[in-house]
Amino acid sequence: MAAAEGSKIDPMHQFLIEPVAGSHWVVGGYDLSFTNSALWMVVTLASLAAFMIGGMKRELVPGRWQAAVEGFTGFVSAMLVSNVGPAGKRFIPYVFSLFMFILFANILGLLPFGVVPGVHPFTVTSHLTVTGVLAIISFAIVLIVGFGKHGFHFFSLFVPHGTPVVMIPLIFVVELMSFLVRPFSLGLRLFVAMTAGHILLKVLAAFVINGINMGPGYVALVSLPSFALMVGITLLELLVAGIQAYVFALLTSVYLNDAVNLH
């Protein structure tokens, strides 16, 4: 690989999926190993469950933890009510799980290398298979709700009100394309945003390590500025982790609005 020859540190290695125990469990021709991706999904789920159970005490005067959990639930339900209307209350459990899972997976993937020695954090959402499945679930719910509620009248979504009759065939095709491209853009956005940030962090880390290896002059000239930049980029990535989770949940609720209210 021409790009990786420059430095000895390969920025793509962090996305490698490998079995945790070291051996592949092949069942009926399928590799069903417990991979690092699966491990970090379990870690995400466990920390999310701990966060929710710790905050669901239903005390009359909420403590700090309960206030944090109520802040998240209130945030998601306000987003759905303002985008979909009162009918959006039905979708709060789904959109809340989606938002919290993506948020926790993004932030856990951003953990530095040394928190637990020898354990490398893995970003679950940096793989198109994971984000693609999340996007397909959202898209499937939109289709099921749309066709279940409106039947074939759902196709009127593709012809906006007041379209001249001559324009209807063209507009229908354009709107259909923009509708069908939604799951791809939804999954691709989250996957690429996480991948790009993590590659950038690893490239800067390679600058720091290679600068240290090359002598004191390079430390002052290359390593220190790169390290300062890394701190800033890590904060930016924390912001991106939050924004991407928010955007995924927001776009899901906007698409649900189309399915429930048909424009």
**Binding-site ranges for another protein (CB under 8 A):** 1-3, 12, 79, 82-83, 185, 188-189, 192-193, 195-196, 243, 246-247, 250-251, 254
Please, which residue, 3 or 116, has the CB nearer to another protein? 3
- Report which DSSP code applies to 127: S
Is 141 or 249 the residue whose CB approaches another protein more closely? Answer: 249
The distance of closest approach from Cβ of residue 76 to another protein in the complex, given in angstroms and rounded to an integer, is 13
Minimum distance from CB of 252 to another protein (Å)? 12
Taking the least distance from each CB to another protein, the nearer of 9 and 251 is 251
Rounded to whole angstroms, the Cα distance separating 213 from 7 reads 12
Residue 138 Cβ vs another protein, minimum distance, rounded to whole Å: 14
Query: Closest approach of Cβ 192 to another protein, in Å?
Result: 4
Cβ nearer to another protein, comparing 200 with 222: 200
- In this structure, what DSSP letter does residue 155 have? G
Two tokens, residue 141 = 């719910």
CB nearer another protein, residue 2 or residue 116 = 2
CB of 3 to another protein, least distance (A): 5
Residue among 81 and 107 whose Cβ is closer to another protein:
81
Rank residues 79 and 134 by Cβ distance to another protein and give the closer one.
79
Q: Which long-range contacts (CB under 8 A, 24 or more apart) does 69-76 make?
A: 72/96, 72/99, 72/100, 76/249
| Own/partner pairs, 87-92, CB within 8 angstroms, 24+ separation | 87/260, 87/261, 88/253, 88/256, 88/257, 88/260, 91/141, 91/253, 91/256
- Work out the number of other CB atoms within 10 angstroms of the CB of residue 194: 27
Residue 244 Cβ, how far from another protein at the closest point, in Å? 9
Whether the CB-CB separation of 228 and 207 falls below 8 Å is answered with: no
Q: What CA–CA distance (Å, rounded) separates 130 from 256? A: 21
- Please, which contacts does 67-76 make with residues 24 or more away whose CB atoms are closer than 8 Å? 72/96, 72/99, 72/100, 76/249
Kind plus residue range of the DSSP H or E element containing 205:
helix 182-214
**Strand pairing partners for 31?**
26
